[in-house]
């Protein structure tokens, strides 16, 4: 007998960070598991799920515009497609959304998105009369915790790499950040659960596992009463298979030497440290409610490079946070000029309601923009010089796809969606999804060019 849901279809739009990508893959897998058909064309689907971001103003704006534009297009074309909204925007502004977006079919926050599949399978949700009686739009906020039983073997949205979320939420109280309000306190997944997920991913051909959470170096403290990232990494390092492991979003005070040495000696864990410093001025860091200062971070970087000589460091910095004066900004410029972080990103501070920084004296947009332009110019030169120094060197490269002229791949110093790529001429037939030894022969406009030598 045919499942009732087999004739119904869905699409999904993902906004925001890699953690949202994981959630979207789980939503998709759970719907497929219930018999729904996935479609790339959102206008040929019975349901479109928009998995939103609500972290900062531009993300909120993008999420709201995506929702309203989609609803308008559906109405203009007289389509029956129903729009479901999930994710961080709902967790943060759910009551407002329910009142203002009356054309949305239903809402789910970050704790309840796995209920979508069950609700759509439920006949009551399909019956408009029953839905009217039970409030046309209901904000669902049940806590389901981690449920990875569907796994991603049914649906991978990112090709040959996959994000693996090892924890949810955050215990830090950074004054500029709304994540604890949206995602709650830190909740680690058990090591066995993560290992099972990675085993399945490797079995279906995933070549890069990216461990993500809001503070990856804090992993396991809530479960095992100690920082346990090193225990998890040892288990992964012992696994069979030809794959990489990359760590995202480490924290300056919880990344310990045990983990650093493990990375240095591992064949699987890439020598790429993603550790957001956010600033280096003591005054600004105090206003941010973050630890450290310029000397602490400088010594931290030197120690990293001493233990892992070929390490590549990625960090992010906020420009124009409250209490950032010219001397504080200059301190950041001096730090970057001296330390020369290989991969650095910069964000202009956005004033977010319900955060402590919202109440502090604000830096004008004009000053923020001026400082932003200056620091980006400095970092572009640092990146250019480092990149040119890679010419002539040989690296292991994961070839991920091809276009008309090139195979496109990445080395260990390139994180997907963030960093550069390596372009290889099609003079030799290569298999997409395999690793090759590649010599870097040129660098242009943020990307490398290489030749395969293996």
Residues in a beta bridge with 212: 165
Domain-located, residue 152: no
Do 301 and 195 share a structural domain? yes
Domain-located, residue 121: yes
Residue 142 pLDDT > 90 = no
List pLDDT tens digits, range 236-294. Answer: 999 999 999 999 999 998 999 999 999 999 999 999 999 999 999 999 999 999 999 99
Please report, for the domain that includes residue 276, its CATH number: 3.80.30.20
Q: Which pLDDT score is estimated for 155?
A: 53
Q: Give the up-direction half-sphere exposure of residue 48: CA atoms within 13 A in the CB hemisphere.
A: 25
Single residue among 140, 174, 196 that ends a domain in this structure: 140
Q: Which pLDDT score is estimated for 359?
A: 94
- Structural domain of 436: 394-452
Do 109 and 179 share a structural domain? no
Q: Which pLDDT score is estimated for 140?
A: 52
Domain-located, residue 147: no
Single residue among 140, 173, 205 that ends a domain in this structure: 140
Do 399 and 300 share a structural domain? no
Do 360 and 227 share a structural domain? yes
List pLDDT tens digits, range 151-196. Answer: 444 455 668 999 999 999 999 999 999 888 888 899 999 999 999 9
CA distance 117 to 208: 28
Q: Which pLDDT score is estimated for 127?
A: 52
Number of domains composing the chain: 3
Q: Six-digit token pair at 334?
A: 């001096």
Question: Rounded mean pLDDT of the chain?
Answer: 90
Do 165 and 56 share a structural domain? no
Do 326 and 190 share a structural domain? yes
Do 300 and 218 share a structural domain? yes
Domain-located, residue 150: no
Full-model pTM:
0.86
Please report, for the domain that includes residue 71, its CATH number: 3.40.50.12160
Measured in whole angstroms, the distance separating CA 266 from the mean position of its chain's CA atoms is 24
Do 199 and 98 share a structural domain? no
Domain-located, residue 149: no
Q: Six-digit token pair at 434?
A: 């395999």
pLDDT > 70 in the chain, percent: 91
Q: Which pLDDT score is estimated for 33?
A: 83
Please report, for the domain that includes residue 442, its CATH number: 2.40.50.140
Do 123 and 56 share a structural domain? yes
Do 419 and 286 share a structural domain? no
Domain-located, residue 148: no
Residue 5 pLDDT > 70 = no
Q: How confident is the model at residue 61 (pLDDT cuts 50, 70, 90)?
A: very high
CA distance 42 to 376: 37
Do 165 and 131 share a structural domain? no
Do 215 and 353 share a structural domain? yes
Single residue among 77, 111, 140 that ends a domain in this structure: 140
């Amino acid at each position: 007998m045919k499942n009732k849901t087999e004739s119904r279809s869905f699409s999904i739009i993902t906004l925001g960070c890699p953690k949202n990508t994981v959630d979207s893959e789980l939503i998709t897998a759970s719907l497929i598991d219930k018999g729904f058909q996935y479609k790339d064309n959102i206008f040929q689907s019975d349901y479109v799920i928009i998995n939103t971001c609500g972290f900062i103003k531009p993300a909120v704006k993008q999420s709201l515009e995506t929702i309203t534009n989609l609803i308008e297009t559906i109405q203009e074309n007289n389509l029956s497609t129903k729009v479901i909204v999930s994710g961080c925007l709902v967790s943060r502004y759910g009551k407002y959304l329910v009142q203002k977006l009356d054309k949305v079919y239903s809402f789910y926050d970050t704790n309840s998105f796995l209920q979508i599949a069950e609700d759509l399978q439920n006949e009551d949700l399909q019956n408009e009369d029953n839905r009217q009686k039970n409030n046309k739009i209901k904000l669902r906020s049940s806590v389901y915790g981690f449920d990875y039983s569907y796994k991603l073997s049914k649906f991978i949205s990112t090709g040959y790499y996959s994000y693996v979320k090892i924890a949810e939420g955050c215990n830090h109280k950074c004054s500029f950040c709304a994540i604890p309000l949206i995602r709650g306190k830190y909740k680690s997944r058990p090591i066995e659960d993560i290992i099972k997920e990675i085993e399945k991913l490797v079995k279906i051909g995933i070549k890069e596992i990216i461990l993500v959470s809001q503070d990856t170096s804090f992993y396991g403290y809530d479960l095992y009463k100690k920082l346990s990232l090193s225990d998890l990494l040892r288990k992964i390092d012992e696994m069979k298979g030809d794959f990489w492991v990359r760590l995202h979003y480490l924290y300056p005070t919880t990344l310990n030497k045990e983990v650093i040495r493990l990375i240095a000696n591992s064949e699987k864990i890439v020598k790429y440290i993603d550790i957001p410093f956010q600033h280096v001025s003591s005054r600004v860091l105090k206003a941010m409610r973050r630890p450290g200062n310029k000397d602490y971070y400088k010594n931290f970087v030197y120690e990293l490079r001493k233990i892992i000589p070929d390490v590549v460091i990625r960090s992010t910095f906020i420009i124009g946070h409250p209490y950032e004066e010219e001397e504080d900004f200059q301190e950041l410029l001096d730090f970057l000029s001296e330390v020369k972080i290989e991969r650095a990103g910069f964000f202009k501070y956005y004033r977010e309601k319900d955060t402590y920084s919202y109440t502090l004296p604000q830096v004008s947009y004009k000053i923020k923009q001026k400082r932003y332009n200056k620091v980006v110019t400095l970092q572009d030169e640092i990146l250019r010089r480092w990149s040119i120094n890679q010419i002539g060197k040989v690296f292991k490269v994961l070839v991920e796809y091809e276009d008309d002229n090139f195979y496109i791949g990445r080395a260990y110093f390139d994180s997907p969606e963030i960093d550069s790529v390596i372009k290889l001429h099609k003079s030799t037939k290569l298999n997409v999804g395999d690793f090759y030894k590649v010599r870097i022969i040129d660098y242009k406009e943020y990307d490398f060019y290489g030749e395969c030598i293996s």
